[in-house]
Amino acid sequence: MCGRFAFTIPAEVLAETFGVSVPPVLEHRYNIAPTQQVFIVRDDADGRNLSNARWGLIPHWAKDISIGSKMINARAETVHEKPAFRQAIKARRCIVPAGGFFEWLARPNGKIPYYITMKDGSPLPMAGIWESWRSPEGAIVESCSILTTTANELMTPIHHRMPVILRSEEFDFWLDRTVTDPIKLKRLFPPYPAVLMASWPVSRLVNSPAHDSSDCIKPEPS
């Protein structure tokens, strides 16, 4: 799964990588937690845009917003079957840009958090889906979920799942709103090559969303 991630992408790199207009200054975030606002890249009627969404997808039929906290991830193998996700995977796909994500390794003395990122320092583009929900009071809330797949060789010792990470040449196909058959998307779901990624243990500060500083991603002795 993916339950916490960091956004450490400079504005100019975000714009160049995803082909979107961005604010001149983007605040780095080192410990993004479910229900918080995140950036998503999506294709709208006016082209590709950088938008904001609440992390934790709220189905359009939900009675209240709280269900979103249970919908932060969608399994790639079954996303097209689940009532909460099956419409979004057909028509509302997005990319959730990240610097890296966190996962916890169980050890006898407690869980150790690891930070997983790209070996070359490039952005880590996670496949996502989004939804629009109207509250009983009429407020519109846009939310998203991150797709997960089986772990690669780097992740296997830490956790059995990882985000679906897209290659740059796959962006157009993933975001193409004319592609509505989820089966055609399955070729994008294999785990990202482990040789292109890196991981290291980090401080337990990341266990609390209250901590949001670069200390959360600094290497710690294992």
Q: Residue 133 sits in a domain of what CATH number?
A: 3.90.1680.10
pLDDT in tens, the chain (222 residues): 789 999 999 999 999 999 999 988 889 999 999 999 999 999 998 899 999 999 999 999 999 999 999 999 999 999 999 999 999 999 999 999 999 999 999 988 889 999 999 999 999 999 999 999 999 899 999 999 999 999 999 999 999 999 999 999 999 999 999 999 999 999 999 999 999 999 999 999 999 999 999 999 999 976
Count of domains observed in the chain: 1
User: pLDDT tens digits for 8-38?
Assistant: 999 999 999 999 999 888 899 999 999 999 9
Give 151's contacts (C-beta < 8 A, 6+ positions apart). Answer: 158, 159, 160, 161, 162, 191
Task: Tell me which residue range forms the domain holding 172.
Answer: 5-217
Whether 97 is covered by a domain: the verdict is: yes
Which secondary structure element, helix H or strand E, spans residue 41, and what is its range? Answer: strand 37-44
**pLDDT tens-digit map of 99-129:** 999 999 998 888 999 999 999 999 999 999 9
pLDDT value of residue 82: 95
Measuring CA to CA, which residue among 194, 208, 221, 222 is closest to residue 30?
Answer: 208
What Cα–Cα distance (Å) separates residue 57 from each residue in 74, 86, 135, 141? 9, 12, 14, 10
For residue 69, is it within any domain?
yes
Going through 93-173 in order, the beta strands assigned E by DSSP cover 93-98, 100-107, 110-118, 124-134, 140-150, 161-163
Q: Is residue 222 part of a domain?
A: no
Does the residue 18 lie in any domain?
A: yes
List active site positions: 2, 103
Sheet of 100-107, strands arranged across: 29-32, 5-7, 100-107, 110-118, 197-201
The whole model's pTM is what?
A: 0.96
Residue 105 is predicted with a pLDDT of 95
- Rounded Cα distance between 19 and 142, Å, is 21
In a domain, 45, yes or no: yes
Of the chain, the percentage scoring pLDDT greater than 90 comes to 91
